[in-house]
Amino acid sequence: MANNTKHIQTLGSLEKELFRQRLKAKTLENKLDENFNYLQDNYSSMVKNSIFKSADGQGMGSSIVRALLKHDRLQEALISLASPLADKAAGWIDSLMERMNKKEPD
């Protein structure tokens, strides 16, 4: 209000300034109420998004998985597991194909 003091030289200009400031206060109060109501209505989803989403929009789970997959020892362990699992899957597929071929045609 320091810059407005030079404009207030009469009682009428003081009343106008008071009205303007009250109107501004009421507008800010309404905006604060709207923001508070929005916060109350959306608190749980806002907390969930702030915890489980990173800045790039990816979920926390995918961020953890990406971080784990960058770990050298974990990569080596996954590679050593992948080969036997692939062998077992191939064997299962082979036996399934054999069973399908043994069925008699209709």
* Count of structural domains within the chain: 2
Structure tokens, 35: 């923001």
What is the rounded distance in angstroms from the CA atom of residue 9 to the CA atom of residue 11?
Answer: 7
Q: How confident is the model at residue 24 (pLDDT cuts 50, 70, 90)?
A: very high
- Look at residue 48 and tell me whether its pLDDT is greater than 70: yes
Range of the domain at 92: 71-106
> CA nearest 59: which of 74, 48, 69, 43?
48
Return the beta strands (E) in 17-82 as ranges: none
| pLDDT tens digit sequence for 6-18 | 678 899 999 999 9
CB-CB contact of 86 with 78 (8 Å): no
Shared domain for 50 and 77, answered yes or no, is: no
Rg (CA), the chain: 34
pTM: predicted TM-score of the whole model, two decimal places: 0.42
Q: How confident is the model at residue 31 (pLDDT cuts 50, 70, 90)?
A: very high
| 50 in any annotated domain | yes
| pLDDT tens digit sequence for 54-67 | 556 666 667 777 77
